[in-house]
Structure 1
Amino acid sequence: MKLLPAVLSVLLFTEVGMGFPLFAAPGVSKGVFKRATRYPVDHRIGNNSELIENLSRQIHTDYVNMISGDLFQTILKDVEDYCQAHEIPLSDLVGNRTLTHSIVDGILSSQEVLQGTVVHQTMSSVAKTVSLPKAFDSRKLNWVTPVRDQGSCSSCVAFATAANIESSLLASSKASSVAPVIVSPSDIFFCLGSGDANCNDGWDISVAAADVSSAGYVQEKCFPYHDTQQPCPAKEGCHRRTNIKSTSLFDINDIKHFILKHGAVVTAIVVYEDFYDCCQNDQVYRYRRGALQGGHAIACIGWDDSRNAWLCKNSWSTTWGTNGFFWIAYGECGIMGEVMGYSTK
């Protein structure tokens, strides 16, 4: 088994037309854009669209440059040779960062030529990379709650945050049949975000993360959702849970490992007009045409390196995309330019 083709497959996303499954909206001919159904976007995120897109491209470009570099490939070959010599199947490294790091550390200590800060950082990156599966989907482990509908309110940050918390709780339970906790996005948006978040403009992922980490969350039954601006009600008898913490993530491998362990992350994307009517039949979305509409927050629940894409959960109901889910190309439209992950304490 060789890791090299699987690892280098992510290089394909850097150029359009290199085997990438591009999305074309149904009924759209060349040069003509079909006006699609409008969904709510987050203008607070949209105001930072250029920054988010630049960060997304840079993060993915840095990752591609790293895994295609000579030092990374040299260390990767050393890991493969070590596993072959010691009869360790490379598949045993997937999901086992302890074993992988022990092998990499052994290689590092046995070769004087492999020294220095850069080498140690690359060694760590190799260990993270080879211990990841080529594809992962939290739905297959029953770590994903049903897709919901935010309606006409720009409350996507609250829905994406709730989705991540729900997945993290399911992942931490270690049981496939546990009843999911349904988190109240209304509480996150209208109570924790009171005076800041609003249905017209939206909210910020990082601000929501700080508030949830500090104040916790309540279940949906304590504050049912309606897609209009609401005051925060008195919630007598509702238990506020504070067993959640948030983490900022900046590295592709770290993001994937977080999803692998906790089920999801929250990230922002930039919405263009063709996104409104995209992503049917599990097609991978890449921007083709249409004007900038704003920003959007979604929960990412997996990836597939053979498709060079992230798997995400939206909050525009199950009638959008593929039953409410969608694939988006690596480095596309700001994906992973800003990332927060929620995990249990």
Structure 2
Amino acid sequence: MMKNNRMIPLLCTLFFLGSAFLPLVQGASFSFVLDFSATTKEQRISEESVVLPSSFSWRDINGVDFTTPIRNQTPYPSCESFALTAAVETMVQYKVGFPFNCDLSEAHLFFFSGGNIIWGSYPENDTKFLKDYGIPDEACWPYPKDKYQYPLNTTAPDWQNRTVKITNWSYIPADPVAIKTALLTNGPVPSYFLVYDDFVYFKKGIYQHRWGNTRGAHYMAIVGYNDDPGYWIVKNSWGTKFQEDGWVNIKYGECGIGTINFYLTGVYGKFPIVYVDDDNTAGPWNGTKEYPYLTIHDALNNVYDGYTIYVMNGTYMEHVIIDKRITLMGENKNITIIDGEGIDDVVTLSVPDVKISGFTVQNSGTQSLNAGIKTLSLNSNATIENNILIHNAIGLFLNYGYAPSWNIVRNNTILNNVKGIYTHWANNGEITGNTIIQNEENGLEMECSKYSVIKGNIIRDNGGYGIYLRGESDQNTITGGNSIQDNAVGVKISESDGNKISRNNFIGNLQHATFYNSFLTNWKRNYWDDRMVLFPEIIYGSIGKREFSWMNVDWYPLWKP
């Protein structure tokens, strides 16, 4: 995390003296001489020749974010390893040509380069290790959650065959122009920063030190800048609860930011991504872009947790069982097709933390619980986004995702299935921005599924219910402009309590909404196209075994959709 203040004079002295011999740190197997002449002639030339824009960020390169998600270095003082790894991950993704959730092992870099759980390590040790040995993928040594869970033999025995290396490293002068040039021409810049009390509590805006005592030295990755009004865009490593979801803007020169900076060059080695192409019928097949695997099944047999499988355009007649925590990414959702040929489930997720995007998934079996995509893992944490699910018994079946499962279903088109989405014991989901249309029965059916958010979806032309909550599907929130249109019934709530239905558009349904034995439902500020002017909207339903007529009320419906 942060370093003890007694290290700051040592770091600064080493930096300004120019050449010093670093002592070995605990667990390190090497030492080296700092070489400040490593600011190369080529780097100086690039500084003179590059025209600097007024702003730049690796989070937005022509609309593409090449950075990786915010990590959390707790419980170790391993900020240098996290800052350097953040830079390498972005450089890898940029070299590949697209972001693919590159995830490298900070724990391996920290401990193998001599990291100490009491005071941390030297960034120079990490950079030398990156050059000489490299950093493997996260699955090689997942970052520990407990402070004393760190015996040095916990890394995978084949780690040396799984590493990403850099060709060289150097310092960048404490000069904003040099740092900006490095950002534009190379990648993120790991940089020193002195933490004060107020930084820990800072949330939004541009950070300037105002109050409090020093807490210690820290390293973060500068990923961009903005000259108006003048700040660095910085990736921290304290998780998403600090600053702005883990990102922070820091005024130029504030608290030493930009005084000690590292320039990493030339990432190469075993990137955690493999390729699949059904056109490569002749082989060879090693998963590289030049020689991709022929099938998704072959790729799954040759990857580790945390890898990405990138599937080229084509039609793959497979039943894919994903038993590793990977990202499955299609080249183009319209023409990258996984076809189940009318048999069983097409794609099955048997482990948590799987991400699927960029596919058409079609033609499952016809039995009632066959699905295009099905989850079969407790606490599944699946992310299903930007897919087309078509001609299946169930487009997407989220099954057994107990709290805190947090399945994310986002920006998919789910059409012409018997059921669009069916969730069973799948809590805490986020179902947002999907188009769920023309399914034979229900668009979205939730059974025994709680605490989910259904937001911003188009749910239209479904033969049964647009949204159907049943069997103790309690405390869900249906909000944010869902367009519930031209279904047989817009929303039905059955034996499910405490749900909130607000700010949705009910248009053209044969019946907009109804309920059975469901209590404490909050209908609020929805648009109803059959509303009588100046009157609230009455939602008719029934309660009790004999189904006595009852009603709910949306007291303040919207005038316009």
What range is the shorter-chain TM-score in? Answer: 0.5 to 0.7
Residue correspondence of structure 1 range 241-320 to structure 2 within 5 A? 241-244=163-166, 245-250=168-173, 251-278=175-202, 280-281=203-204, 283-320=205-242
Match of 1:335 in 2: 257
Aligned to 1:226: 144
DSSP 3-state at the match of 1:168: helix
Partners in 2 of 1:160 and 1:124 — Cα distance?
24
2:103 to 170, 178, 182: 182
- Specify the SS of the correspondent of 1:140: coil
Which residue of the partner structure matches residue 70 of structure 2?
147
Name the aligned partner's letter for residue 41 of structure 1. Answer: M
* TM-score, normalised via structure 2 length: 0.39
Q: 1:160 matched to which residue of 2?
A: 83
> What's the counterpart of residue 57 of structure 2?
137
- Deviation, structure 1 residue 327: 0.7
Uncovered stretches (5+) of structure 1, i.e. residues with no partner: 1-39, 57-97, 99-120
Larger radius of gyration: 2
Aligned residues: 231
How far is the alpha carbon of 1:252 from its aligned partner? 2.6
Q: 1:259·1:265 contact (CA, 8 Å) conserved in 2?
A: yes
Distance 2:46 2:169 in 1: 23
Aligned position for 1:102: none
C-alpha separation in 1, matches of 2:47 and 2:113:
37
State the alpha-carbon separation in 1 of the partners of residues 69 and 52 from structure 2. Answer: 26
Q: Which amino acid aligns with 2:100?
A: A
Residues 233 and 247 in structure 2, CA contact (< 8 A), matched pair in contact too:
yes
Structure with the larger RCO, 1 or 2 (CA within 8 Å, 6+ apart)? 1
Aligned counterparts of 2:10 and 2:200: Cα–Cα separation in 1: 20
For the 8 Å contact 1:165–1:343, the answer to whether it is kept is no
Shift of 1:144: 0.3
Q: 1:125 to 1:161 in 2, by over 3 A?
A: closer
- Aligned Cα root-mean-square deviation (Å): 2.6
- Structure 1 segments of 4+ aligned residues over 3 angstroms from their partners: 49-53, 123-128
Normalised to the residue count of structure 1, the TM-score between the two structures is 0.61
More helix by share: 1
Aligned to 2:245: 323
How far apart, CA to CA, are the structure 2 residues paired with 1:242 and 1:313? 21
Question: Percent of aligned pairs with the same residue?
Answer: 27
Aligned twin of 2:126 = 208
Cα–Cα, structure 1 residues 344 and 126, in superposed 2: closer, same or farther, change >3 Å?
closer
Structure 2 gaps of 5+ residues are: 17-41, 268-561
For 1:192, the equivalent position in structure 2 comes to: 113
Mapped partners of 1:52, 1:270: distance in 2? 12
Q: Quick one: which amino acid aligns to residue 262 of structure 1?
A: N
Q: Quick one: which amino acid aligns to residue 48 of structure 1?
A: I
Q: Which moved more, 1:233-242 or 1:136-145?
A: 233-242
Give distance in 2, aligned partners of 1:221 and 1:125: 38
What CA deviation, in whole Å up to 9, does each residue of 1:216-264 have, x standing for no partner? 1101010000142412225223324253132211143232122113330
Inter-CA distance 137–124: structure 2 relative to 1 (3 Å threshold): closer
Cα distance in structure 1, aligned partners of 2:103 and 2:217 = 25
Q: Is the 8 A contact 1:161 1:299 kept in 2?
A: yes
Alignment of 1:2-17 (within 5 A): none
